[in-house]
């Protein structure tokens, strides 16, 4: 036990033993899959038609928004190219399913059905349809452990969508799945109802994904910092279908190398998937990674060196 906590050579043992226990998860997950399947099979014709109509309406709306977004994205990438910035807002995603939830009341972790064989690496962000859920902390052959953003030991770098105010959202100590904003000065302009999005600082999470909504702001005159609570937007206790995002660090690295190789190339938005056997590149420290790190574009990229007229 001591060896496992201090050194990492036992990781390989864990990795190997995980082959043995994976079938158990598969069997334990069978009832959920069967009920999903029954839901799929036993649907009336009427329900299907209604659902189809509803989906078509939603698709129309989404396509309209997508058109707007496309112009915004191209404008944004032009501006970023001007600045020689190398951050990409979008990334590739991989779908996954939650197959087990840790029964330990003091830590909030889930197990997903994608592992090293599917190209998962340490530190990847997990999303559901509504917002950010957590990050991968341990990769096993066919499964991976994900720490949710509401875990006490997890800190998410966020910013207020309205005005860009930055903060770190930590999992709450109470039993309710909440987030608390840490070390926010009394004068900060944060109101209840504000949307918190991931700020991309710390280089773990992709930028601009919705994280939480502020539920209460409490100014205690006796305390140096305001007490701000937020409710995660992701349905942490209900979602089963989730998405894994290729981590922004890899995006930046691949793009930086491309930039370095070809000076005139415009930022490519396509990213190659990491190979299945790639080693986890980021450190496995699951603690607060929200220290204000410098933006990656501060590193000299060739386009910046061009003399301006």
Residues that bind other proteins (CB under 8 A): 1, 3-5, 10, 13-14, 17-18, 20-21, 24-25, 27-28, 31-32, 100-107, 109, 111, 138, 145, 152-153, 173, 175, 237
CB of 79 vs other proteins, minimal distance in Å:
43
Q: 238 or 306: whose CB is closer to other proteins?
A: 238
Q: 12 or 306: whose CB is closer to other proteins?
A: 12
Q: 171 or 206: whose CB is closer to other proteins?
A: 171
| Tokens, residue 85 | 């910035």
Q: 16 or 292: whose CB is closer to other proteins?
A: 16
Q: 136 or 303: whose CB is closer to other proteins?
A: 136
CB of 241 vs other proteins, minimal distance in Å:
16
- DSSP assigned state of 297: G
Query: CA 73, CA 266: separation in Å to the nearest integer?
Result: 14
CB of 10 vs other proteins, minimal distance in Å:
6
Residues 6+ apart with CB under 8 A from 91: 206, 245, 246, 247, 248, 251, 271
260-285 burial, b at 16+ Cβ within 10 Å, e below that, comes to eeeeeeebeeeeeebeeeeebebeee
The C-alpha R_g of the chain, in whole angstroms, comes to 21
With H, G, I as helix, E, B as strand and everything else as coil, classify residue 140: coil
Residue 182: beta bridge partners?
Answer: 168
Q: 1 or 82: whose CB is closer to other proteins?
A: 1
CB of 181 vs other proteins, minimal distance in Å:
19
Considering only CA atoms, which of 190, 156, 183, 161 is closest in space to residue 171? 156
CB of 155 vs other proteins, minimal distance in Å:
14
The CB density around residue 121, as the number of other CB atoms within 10 Å, is 21
CB of 104 vs other proteins, minimal distance in Å:
6
Contact call for residues 161 and 233 (beta carbons, < 8 A):
no
């Amino acid at each position: 036990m001591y060896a496992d906590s201090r050194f990492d050579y036992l990781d390989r043992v864990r990795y190997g033993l995980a082959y043995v226990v994976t079938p158990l998860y598969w069997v334990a997950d069978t009832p959920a899959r069967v009920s999903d399947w029954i839901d799929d099979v036993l649907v009336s014709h009427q329900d299907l038609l209604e659902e189809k109509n509803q989906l078509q309406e939603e698709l129309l709306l989404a396509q309209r928004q997508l058109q707007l977004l496309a112009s915004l994205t191209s404008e944004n990438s032009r501006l970023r190219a001007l600045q020689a910035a190398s951050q990409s807002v979008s990334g590739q995603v991989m779908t996954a399913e939650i197959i087990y939830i840790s029964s330990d009341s003091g830590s909030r972790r889930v197990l997903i059905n994608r592992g090293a064989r599917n190209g998962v690496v340490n530190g990847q962000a997990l999303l559901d349809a509504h917002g950010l859920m957590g990050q991968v902390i341990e990769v096993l052959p066919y499964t991976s452990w994900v720490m949710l953003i509401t875990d006490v030991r997890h800190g998410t770098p966020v910013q207020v969508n309205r005005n860009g105010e930055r903060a770190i959202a930590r999992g709450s100590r109470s039993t309710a799945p909440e987030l608390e904003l840490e070390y926010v000065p009394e004068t900060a302009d944060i109101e209840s109802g504000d949307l918190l999005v991931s700020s991309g600082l710390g280089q773990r999470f992709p930028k601009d994904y919705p994280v939480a909504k502020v539920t209460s702001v409490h100014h205690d005159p006796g305390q140096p910092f305001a007490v701000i609570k937020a409710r995660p937007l992701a349905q942490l206790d209900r979602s089963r279908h989730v998405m894994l995002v290729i981590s922004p660090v890899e995006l930046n690295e691949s793009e930086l190398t491309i930039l370095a190789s070809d000076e005139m190339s415009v930022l490519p938005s396509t990213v190659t998937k990491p190979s299945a056997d790639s080693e986890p590149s980021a450190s496995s420290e699951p603690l607060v990674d929200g220290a204000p790190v410098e933006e990656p574009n501060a590193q000299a990229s060739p386009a910046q060196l061009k003399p301006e007229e």
